[in-house]
């Protein structure tokens, strides 16, 4: 269960304050799959960052599973993110020096649990990357990179999976595959899924569409 109340976020630079996001009220029940839409610069990524604890709101309540991320210490937020959040970044951000399986493994490396290697392999095999476990990101196609990023978000069975434009860089067919996988896996594991996209067709496949501009 995610609950946002009177959340305000602005960036300040050289004394200039740029309001970025205002969310008076937003609730997302457990296991709901939500598409976050809005034009570029509307604050989709910022909202995902707020939900992951990577960015702190200036004011208001950001509550995930009864934990208030706005009042939590940074270290506690890190721990929360390590254990409970899977994040698929805009343009994936796989680490170049690490193989596919290692990249996936890294997704579970900071949660303090053991045996992520095996789970990483299983996830990649399930995503039809069994042959590419030890390839480096530079040796993978964009679609394959997307699947590695997906596996990295899913490893460790997080309760909340965030994805930022997961299909933005992909052609239609590959985009559909990734989207199907994302929706299917989250349904199987009962995770709450929040996906930012500017593609309304993509958004249509979700349980619910939240328009960022409409929140305020």
Partner 1 sequence: MRLPALVLRNLKRRPLATALTTISVSLGVGLFSAVGALRDASEQAFHRSAGVCDLLVGAKGSALELTLNALYHVGASAGNIPYPVYQDLRQTKGVKWSVPMVVGDSYRGFRVIGVTDDLFQKLEVPDFGKLRFAEGGGFSFSAAQLDDFHAEVVEHAAALAEDEHDHDHEADDGHDHHDHDLADLAAENGWFVAVIGSKVASETGLKLNSTFEPAHNLVEGGGDAHDEAESKVVGVLESTGTPLDRAIFIPAAAFYAIEGHQATEQSSFGGALDPHGLSAIMVRTQAGYYHLQVRSKIKNRLDAQAVEPVQEIRKLFQIVGNIDGALRMIALMVVIVALTGVLVAIYNTMGARQKEFAVLRALGAKRRTILGLVTAESAAISLFGGVLGMVVAGVGVTLASDQIQEITGVAISPLPDLQDLQFLLAITAMGALAGLVPAARAYRTEAARHLSSSL
Ligand X SMILES: Nc1ncnc2c1ncn2[C@@H]1O[C@H](COP(=O)(O)OP(=O)(O)OP(=O)(O)O)[C@@H](O)[C@H]1O
Q: Which residues contact ligand X by CB under 6 A?
A: 11, 18, 20, 38, 40-46, 198
Q: Where are the beta strands (DSSP E) in 14-123?
A: 16-28, 33-37, 59-64, 67-68, 85-88
Distance CA 175, CA 61 (A): 34
Per-residue x/- track, 21-50, partner 1 (CB under 8 A)? ------------------------x---x-
Q: Which of 5, 20, 63, 83 binds partner 1 (CB under 8 A)?
A: 83
Distance CA 88, CA 79 (A): 17
45 vs 192, beta carbon nearer ligand X: 45
| Least CB distance to partner 1 at residue 88 (A) | 10
Residue 91 binds partner 1, judged by CB under 8 A = yes
Instruction: State the burial class of residue 204 (Cβ atoms within 10 Å of its Cβ: 0-12, 13-18, 19+).
Output: exposed
Residue 45 binds Mg ion, judged by CB under 5 A = yes
What the block records as the tokens of 110 is: 């900071």
Which letter does DSSP use for residue 203 in this model? H
Residues at the site binding partner 1, with contacts judged by CB under 8 A: 45, 49, 52, 54-55, 74-75, 78-79, 81-83, 85, 87, 89-91, 93, 95, 97-98, 102, 105-107, 109-111, 116-117, 152
């Amino acid at each position: 269960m995610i609950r946002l109340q009177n959340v305000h976020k602005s960036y300040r630079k050289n004394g200039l304050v740029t309001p970025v996001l205002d969310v008076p009220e937003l609730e997302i029940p457990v296991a709901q799959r939500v598409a976050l839409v809005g034009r570029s610069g509307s604050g989709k990524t910022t909202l995902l960052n707020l939900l992951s604890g990577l960015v702190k709101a200036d004011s208001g309540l950001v509550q995930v599973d009864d934990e208030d991320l706005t009042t939590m210490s940074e270290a506690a937020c890190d721990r929360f993110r390590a254990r409970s959040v899977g994040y698929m970044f805009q343009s994936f951000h796989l680490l170049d020096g690490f193989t596919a399986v290692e990249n996936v493994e890294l997704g579970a490396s900071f949660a303090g649990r053991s045996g992520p290697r095996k789970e990483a392999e299983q996830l990649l095999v399930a995503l039809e990357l069994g042959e590419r476990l030890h390839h480096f990101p530079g040796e993978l196609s964009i679609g394959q990179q997307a699947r590695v990023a997906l596996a990295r978000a899913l490893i460790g069975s997080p309760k909340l999976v965030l994805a930022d434009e997961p299909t933005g860089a992909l052609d239609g067919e590959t985009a559909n595959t990734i989207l199907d996988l994302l929706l299917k896996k989250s349904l199987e594991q009962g995770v709450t899924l929040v996906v930012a996209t500017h593609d309304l067709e993509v958004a249509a496949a979700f349980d619910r569409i939240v328009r960022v501009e409409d929140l305020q």
